[in-house]
Amino acid sequence: MTAAPAGPGPDDTTARPDAPQQPTGGPIGRSVPRLHDDRLLRGQGRFTDDIDDGTALHAVVLRSPVAHGRLTRFDAGAARADGRAVLVLGPDEIARHTRPLPTVWRIRGQRQDTIELAPRTVRYAGQPVGLVVAAGRAEAEDVAELVETGYEPLPAVVGTDAALADGAPLVHPEYGGNTAGSARFGDSEDEVERALAGAAHVVTRELGVQRVAYTSLETRALLAEWTPGTEQLTVWAGTQVPHPFRYGLARALRLRVDQVRVAVPDLGGAFGGKTVLHADETLVCLAARLLGRRVAWTEDRAEALTASYQGRGMSATARLGLDADGRFVALDAHITGDVGAFVSQAGTGPFQVAAQAIEGPYRFGRAGASVRAVWTNAVPTGAYRGYGMQEACWIRERLVAEAARELGLPAAELRRRNLIGPEELPYTTRTFSTYDTGDYPRALHSAEQAVADAPRVREGRIRRGAAAVPSIEATGYGPTSLLEAAGMEAGGWESGRIRVNEDGTVTVFAGVVAMGQGIETALAQIVADRLGVPLGLVAVRLGDTDTTPRSEFSSQASRSVVVAGGALMRAGARMRERMHALAASLLETSAEDVRLDVEGEDEPVFRAAKTSRTATWAQVAHRGWLGWGRPDPDRIVLEETVDFDPPGLTYAYAAHAAAVAVDLDTGQITVEGYWAFSDSGPLVNPMIAEGQIAGAVAQGLGIALTEEAALDPSTGLPLTTSLRDYELPAPATVPTALHLSHTSTPGTVAPGGFKGLGEGGMLPAPVVVANAVADAVPEIARRLERTPLSPYRVWTMLRDAGLATG
């Protein structure tokens, strides 16, 4: 991987002088190594599975072997008689001890407002129906095999087409249909139809994005402990959202929230898969509560691939209308979202975001998108990295590329005519997104230049082609009022707390969670920068409902630096002021006369300019906690807490380019070169940012080429139950010619002008690969409508086009 300079145009940070609280040349903007890497790389990580000292009992979740059926028999007699069983829970006991989980993000018309923990009617293969606890995992597996179950099979509804067909079996008969809810974004259908009717050219495609599994290195894991004396439930959990996790657990187990503590140890990846409380996790906590013991559970890879919620699963009928000059007069998408067996907490959100983000960086005369969320007998879907926006990018940029091909126009020229220019910002789209800052044409131009000389080969058995596409990422979710208006039970604010301790060390508390993305380092850099102290003084505490600020979204949706970082930018400024005032009182001078001197990692020293008297940072902190010499009689505790509710979303953007080779004999696609030109405002730590983008590109290539959580079309049973069949992108999937570069246009929403970047790298990756394949093999361009572009699928297209004979 190389960090190549960007294409034409200035490449360095171009901070505007009026941007709020610009970085000062301190720790912000430096590629310091991640604070936890040394420990993690030495094998000193402490993940959930590492916590127990051998006293915990082990749980195995009993799961439905059928995609749809009624549980007619649950006989735990033999299992309980085995002697090794410590606890066996079936649906009846579970129902007796619990309430269902609440839903969070509902779509209009959605009547399913709870999630059953262990229903008697099972709706996906892998759905929990019970739990077994024994001394060890193997014993629990043995006992689980002794539980006798019987199912009355019901017809499985596999895929949204089947779900919406006339006479389709109903996943939830009580609701009278398989549509969970629907919504329209942007211009009305009538208005868009009128605009399309007046278009000189209309491109229509059926575009889809497959279901994918999260596949974090560490699967979901839980250690739950109920202390009978104090009636406290302590849960160490691999979750991205400790507070909603606690809320859901307390609701389900009929506890007060202050009886439950959720603590997040080291977390080995998440990608959105750990943003909700799953039913099986709740059952493990129930077992601990009933037993008054520690109960451990670590999902195995088969469960991770089949019973953890999944991502994506969308299809759309999409149309792009152009006038005679190639201007986009209308865009319409009818999106069908496969929510699976029930609407999970994240539920229909990804599909709604796809509709909301349908326009990307272009101007359209009219634009709108409809969402229909559909129940099927598959594991529910939820929030997967870049959700909605990746699907929207796939729809939009396939349409644009196909329009260019059909019209015989260079795609670059077509995009140029329709891109929103920097002079038009801020710009509000037809779906009411207001883009704040950026220069989309410049990013795209850089990407186009990067592949201008890439090989284009349209003869022989190895074809070569290239493409470039722009994308936009809504980051910093989000204004609480926006979430409220969207019917989402969540607040978008973050709270940041800075405590200067009595020895001068600094402890930072934030509501976001470290899951391998490096946020603890970035927040430490922000606080050190704002206070003017060495990075080594700052420790960051995250992910513990007893000590860290409440957060609804925590770390997801490219928001941690924007919102939590934004809160800490302000808290840091306040704390800096207080420390200077305390120093002034000690040095018997005015705050304006005090300067904080820092030499490397040495302890900082306050110096009075007039008298040259000095006091160390630690001395000032110590006096502060004694309450001596305080300027304000009512403020003693050296803590500053700021709640930051972002006034809007802030829009990062990028343009990616790919050069590919297509082997006509095998259908295999090789990505030979990849370029990402990103702008997420000022970067707190460019090295971490590059890691995020490179990883997201790799994950995007997985969607493009290899990954698919597949079901048997007749039985609904999962076909991809191990990493043998669920194929992840490999190191060799990502070209060594991976070029990442940045511009830095500050946003106007967050202090520091930060924009998010955790997800942006994956948004354009699938479609830029597909468009490059279309460039290499235009004979099959029309059929590149769904990912993954697996060799077998591509070869089938090639054969049908008369290009592959074998």
Question: What residues make contact with other proteins under the rule CB under 8 A?
Answer: 49, 52, 54-58, 135-139, 141-142, 296, 298, 300, 302, 462, 661-663, 665-670, 705-706, 710, 719, 722, 724-725, 727, 729-733, 790-792, 795-796, 799, 804-806
Q: Which is nearer to other proteins, 139 or 439 (CB)?
A: 139
Instruction: Name the residue with tokens 């196909």.
Output: 402
Residue 281: CB atoms within 10 Å: 28
Residue closer to other proteins (CB basis): 48 or 110: 48
Cβ atoms of residues 388 and 352 within 8 Å: yes
Distance in angstroms (rounded) separating the CA atoms of residues 374 and 181: 8
Please state the closest distance from residue 793 (CB atom) to other proteins, in A.
Answer: 10
Closest CB 306 distance from other proteins, rounded Å: 12
CB 664, min distance to other proteins, A: 9
Q: Which is nearer to other proteins, 148 or 665 (CB)?
A: 665
- In contact, 170 and 176? CB cutoff 8 Å: yes
Shortest reach from residue 712's CB to other proteins, in Å: 9
Instruction: Name the residue nearer to other proteins (CB basis): 96 or 792.
Output: 792
Which of residues 452 and 457 has its CB atom nearest to other proteins in the complex? 457
Residue nearer to other proteins on the CB measure, 630 or 799 = 799
Helices 242-253 + 279-291 axis angle, to 10? 60
Inter-axis angle of helices 440-450 and 411-418, to 10 degrees? 170
Nearest residue (CB) to other proteins, 451 versus 524: 451
72 by Cβ neighbours in 10 Å (0-12 / 13-18 / 19+) ranks as: exposed
CA gap 270, 289 in Å, rounded: 26
Q: How far is the CB of 227 from other proteins (least distance, A)?
A: 19
For residues 493 and 512, the answer to whether their CB atoms sit within 8 Å is no
Residue 462: CB minimum distance to other proteins, A: 6
**Residue 473 contacts residue 385 (beta carbons within 8 Å):** no
Using the minimum distance from each CB to other proteins, give the nearer residue, 54 or 600. 54
The DSSP bridge pattern shows strands 328-340 and 366-375 to be parallel
- Judged by beta carbon, residue 637 or residue 728, the one nearer other proteins is 728
Of 22 and 668, CB closest to other proteins? 668
Residue 327 has φ and ψ, to the nearest 5°, of -90, 145
Nearest residue (CB) to other proteins, 778 versus 791: 791
Residue 1 CB, nearest approach to other proteins (Å): 16
The values of phi and psi at residue 161, to 5°, are: -60, -45
Q: Which is nearer to other proteins, 84 or 782 (CB)?
A: 84
Tell me the closest approach of the beta carbon of residue 22 to other proteins, in angstroms.
43
In the complex, the smallest distance separating the C-beta of residue 137 from other proteins, rounded to whole angstroms, is: 5
CB of 333 within 8 A of CB of 358?
Answer: yes
- C-alpha dist (Å) from residue 784 to 34, 337, 399, 770, 798: 40, 20, 11, 7, 11
Provide the token pair at 794. Answer: 């591509």
> Does the bond joining 764 to the residue before it have cis omega, within 30 degrees of 0?
no
* C-alpha dihedral (3, 5, 9, 14), degrees to nearest 10: 50
Helix axis angle, 565-587 relative to 519-531, nearest 10°? 30
Burial of 322 (0-12, 13-18, 19+ CB in 10 A): buried
Whichever of 300 and 779 has its CB closer to other proteins, that residue is 300
Closer by beta carbon to other proteins, 462 or else 486: 462
Shortest distance (Å) from residue 725 CB to other proteins = 7
Q: Nearest approach, Cβ of 48 to other proteins (angstroms)?
A: 12
Q: Between β-strands 114-115 and 101-102, what pairing exists: parallel, antiparallel or unpaired?
A: antiparallel
Where would I find the H helices in 357-479? Answer: 389-407, 411-418, 440-450
**Cα-based distances in Å from 720 to 163, 174, 212, 341, 709:** 21, 31, 10, 18, 6
Beta strands 328-340 and 85-89 are unpaired
Q: Which is nearer to other proteins, 596 or 723 (CB)?
A: 723
Minimum distance of other proteins from residue 668's CB (angstroms) = 4
Least distance (Å) between residue 730 CB and other proteins: 5
Least separation, in Å, of the C-beta of 387 and other proteins? 25
CB of 666 vs other proteins, minimal distance in Å? 6
Where would I find the H helices in 254-358?
Answer: 279-291, 301-306, 349-356
Rg (Cα) of the chain, in Å, rounded? Answer: 27
CA neighbor of 447 nearest in space, from 3, 10, 1, 8 = 8
